[in-house]
Structure 1
Amino acid sequence: MAGGDAIVNKLSTAPETVAISPDALRSAIANGLVSSEQAEGLRELERARTPAFDAEPHDDEKFRFISGFSDIFVTIGLGLFLGALGYFSSDMIGNTGMFAVIAVTSWLLAEYFTRRQRMALPSIALLLVYAGAVFSTVAEAFNPNLNFGMGLGNHGGFPIVVAGLATAAATALHYRRFRVPVTIAAGVAALVASAVGVLFMVLPDFAEQAAKPLLLACGLAVFTLAMRFDLSDPQRLTRRTDIAFWLHMLAAPLIVHPLISGLVGEGGSDVVSAWSILAIFVGLALVALVVDRRAILVSGLSYAGFAFGALVVKAGLSDSVVPLTMLVLGALVLLLSAGWHALRRTLLSLLPGALARRLPAHT
């Protein structure tokens, strides 16, 4: 105890108190210095000691996106540099060479800004540029005139399959080197593109009709993968929660678009379709509340606005459709935000105890 008291006295007389950052806690968990329960206890202790005015708002979906204005500053510089590099490379070596140069340059820049500086936003931007450049390099190499629309046919499906598989492999190497959480979602997105490419290769005449069910199946698979990461870290203290966040961001549009776009394309302006869309939106809201992931809900907002707008028109208020729709959607988002934790507590109380205990429960 004497040694512990000496340490406490030394810290108390230090000129500046150094707070333990969330990243430091995650590293401590990863290295076995503390358990997830101990880390959560430290967080609760810090929240109890911090004055209410100075405390950060509680958010179970917190993830590292930006650490300071320098992240924004560097990201702007990366955009300008890579954009100019792409312009000059395209003139000299063509589109395929341009994408290859951007992919290699993005990796080299990540060696400094990601591996050494550990800057969050530039790391995300560089990974997305790298994945997109690898995909485009391979696709363009197989078919320079490739149309990335839905009418790929036999000729266009194969480059998409190969490009998707190559991008998945490239992102796996990138993750092994840099450990950027969004990389997993980028690799999974590439695999989804490959699955769509296979569909257009095998069933070109039926592909456009089957694309939506396939995307829905892929979205559910991605959602399941995201939940595996979420359930493995219910306290949301490790890198797994960031990986799950990006997977949910990918899964949400893959699920929402196939479910709702069919109603929109098949006369979504009629009352029945509009109410159906709103019912789907309510179902998505319940899922989002249970798993505590707002990305699912955000993806359905545009469709909910379309459906409510259709109901406003049917009610004879077509002149006010836009402001009324914006007013209702804004009020809905604000109400959900204010009552999120109370609604979650109610829904979790209705679930089996074994499942509810594995879900995020910081409400």
Structure 2
Amino acid sequence: MSISNAALLAGIERGLVTADQAQGLRDLERTRTAVLDVEPQDDEKFRFISGFSDIFVTIGLGLFIGALGYFSAEFIGGVGMCIVIAVASWLLAEYFTRKRRMALPSIVLLLAFAAAVFGAVALALDPRLGISSALAEDSGWPIVVAGLVTAGATALHYWRFRVPITVAAGVAALVAAAVGLVFTAAPDLITQVAKPLLLICGLAVFALAMRFDLSDPQRQTRRTDIAFWLHMLAAPLIVHPLVSGLIGEGGPEAVAAWSILAIFIGLALVAVLVDRRAILVSGLSYAGFAFGSLVVKAGLSDSVVPLTMLVLGALVLLLSAGWHSLRRALLSRLPDALAGRLPAHT
């Protein structure tokens, strides 16, 4: 914490420091501030962990909730297990989230709570869901109801604890409800409409994330953390239908590989414009699966796959090195009204 000029003047009056010493302290503060100003700063701040105590507590939570779930399932079944986990996660959040404000434990507890609520409702309505992950012809409604109830529960959780990832968890529950609703309405067409539906949901989530981003261009409030998690959710919802469609068409591996690369170049441009590396990180995880499938199909005999991976890796490194320069160049080509609404850090 820096010493204010008023404190220095008071120190001179009381004889604690001389005028020369006070001026020397002012010069030192200006020099230190100038050095700090030229240090690189992370434009995409992410409140994930505040110290090793977060990791330590998270390990304890994992052990405790895991054991609690095991014994609950043994004695009161799957629905009872989910209810116990949901209640325990809420009560633990009262201390570790509301009182201690620990970032990583809060994220884990929220995810455990949301998953437990979803599982409790879905299993209560259709116990078969605990046996097989495949949807039966009449099992769409339990997913719809579970998604809606989970969305409501996460809204209540956010009102109480204000954990930024809660909004993304609630939106994910709504996406699950939408998928269940379409499956219930047209079970015979689910294979044809699943990918377009996920893509539409992904674009909707991205639009919601941008709404939060545009409302806080300086990224100084909780809205920027909410936007971060929404971008993390939107990216796989957008990328997965596109990439899985290319792999599943059975066409030449070379065409699929270069098409995937083109998708990620477009994704990278969007990420740079909105200044969200999270879009690339979430999408690249799906690219790894896509490239793995291509390698298996190619039998390692085609050089296109490793070449594409090489280009993709080079793209990520180049983006990391020239992120700000590229962003300034792209923003300069946008209309002033649009560029002025995007995050200002360049």
1:77 aligns with 2:60: yes
**Deviation per CA, 1:41-97, whole angstroms, max 9, x where unpaired?**
xxxx99971635x98741111121100000000000000000000111111101100
**Deviation per CA, 1:156-189, whole angstroms, max 9, x where unpaired?**
1011001000000000000000000000000000
* Residue in structure 2 matching 1:51, options 22, 32, 35: 35
**1:75–1:125 CA contact under 8 A, matched in 2:** yes
**1:213–1:258 CA contact under 8 A, matched in 2:** yes
* Residue in structure 2 matching 1:129, options 112, 127, 135: 112
Count of residues in correspondence between the two structures: 327
Q: SS in structure 2 opposite 1:60?
A: coil
How many angstroms apart in 1 are the aligned matches of 2:5 and 2:212? Answer: 39
Q: SS in structure 2 opposite 1:145?
A: helix
* Residue in structure 2 matching 1:101, options 64, 68, 84: 84
**1:231–1:359 CA contact under 8 A, matched in 2:** yes
Query: 1:298 and 1:11, CA in 2 relative to 1: closer, same or farther beyond 3 A?
Result: farther
CA RMSD of aligned residues (A): 3.1
1:225 aligns with 2:208: yes
**2:257–2:308 CA contact under 8 A, matched in 1:** no
How many angstroms apart in 1 are the aligned matches of 2:30 and 2:305? Answer: 45
Query: How big is the shift at 1:228?
Result: 0.4
How many angstroms apart in 2 are the aligned matches of 1:239 and 1:114? Answer: 15
How many angstroms apart in 2 are the aligned matches of 1:47 and 1:253? Answer: 46
* Residue in structure 2 matching 1:177, options 160, 178, 202: 160
Structure (1 or 2) with the larger CA radius of gyration: 2
1:279 aligns with 2:262: yes
1:189 aligns with 2:172: yes
Structure 1 consecutive aligned stretches of length 4 or more whose deviation exceeds 4 Å: 7-13, 45-48, 147-151, 302-314, 319-328
How many angstroms apart in 1 are the aligned matches of 2:46 and 2:72? Answer: 35
Specify the code of the residue in structure 2 equivalent to 1:204.
P
**Structure 1 runs not aligned, ≥5 long:** 14-44
1:360 aligns with 2:335: no
Q: SS in structure 1 opposite 2:196?
A: helix
1:204 aligns with 2:182: no
Q: SS in structure 2 opposite 1:92?
A: helix
Specify the code of the residue in structure 1 equivalent to 2:42.
D
Query: 1:128 and 1:246, CA in 2 relative to 1: closer, same or farther beyond 3 A?
Result: same
**1:275–1:307 CA contact under 8 A, matched in 2:** no
**Structure 2 runs not aligned, ≥5 long:** 15-28
Specify the code of the residue in structure 2 equivalent to 1:237.
Q
Worse overlay, 154-163 or 140-149: 140-149
Scaled by the length of structure 2, what TM-score is found?
0.85
What residue in structure 1 maps to residue 282 of structure 2?
299
List aligned pairs for 1:240-319, cutoff 5 A. 240-267=223-250, 269-302=252-285, 304=287, 306=290, 318=301
How many angstroms apart in 2 are the aligned matches of 1:206 and 1:312? Answer: 30
How many angstroms apart in 2 are the aligned matches of 1:211 and 1:291? Answer: 28
**1:131–1:171 CA contact under 8 A, matched in 2:** yes
Scaled by the length of structure 1, what TM-score is found?
0.82
How many angstroms apart in 2 are the aligned matches of 1:356 and 1:61? Answer: 18
How many angstroms apart in 1 are the aligned matches of 2:133 and 2:30? Answer: 52
How many angstroms apart in 2 are the aligned matches of 1:189 and 1:46? Answer: 48
What residue in structure 1 maps to residue 23 of structure 2?
none
Query: How big is the shift at 1:221?
Result: 0.5
Query: 1:269 and 1:49, CA in 2 relative to 1: closer, same or farther beyond 3 A?
Result: farther
List aligned pairs for 1:55-66, cutoff 5 A. 57-66=40-49
How many angstroms apart in 2 are the aligned matches of 1:56 and 1:118? Answer: 28
Query: How big is the shift at 1:261?
Result: 1.0
What residue in structure 2 maps to residue 334 of structure 1?
317
Specify the code of the residue in structure 2 equivalent to 1:170.
A
**1:134–1:167 CA contact under 8 A, matched in 2:** yes
**Deviation per CA, 1:237-274, whole angstroms, max 9, x where unpaired?**
00000000000000000001112210111125532222
**Deviation per CA, 1:97-138, whole angstroms, max 9, x where unpaired?**
001000000000000000000000000110000000000000
**Deviation per CA, 1:304-336, whole angstroms, max 9, x where unpaired?**
55459959997x963888876665443332221
Query: How big is the shift at 1:301?
Result: 2.5
Worse overlay, 179-188 or 256-265: 256-265
Query: How big is the shift at 1:6?
Result: 3.5
| Percent identity for Structure 1 against Structure 2 | 72
How many angstroms apart in 2 are the aligned matches of 1:102 and 1:171? Answer: 15
Query: How big is the shift at 1:300?
Result: 3.4
Specify the code of the residue in structure 2 equivalent to 1:49.
T
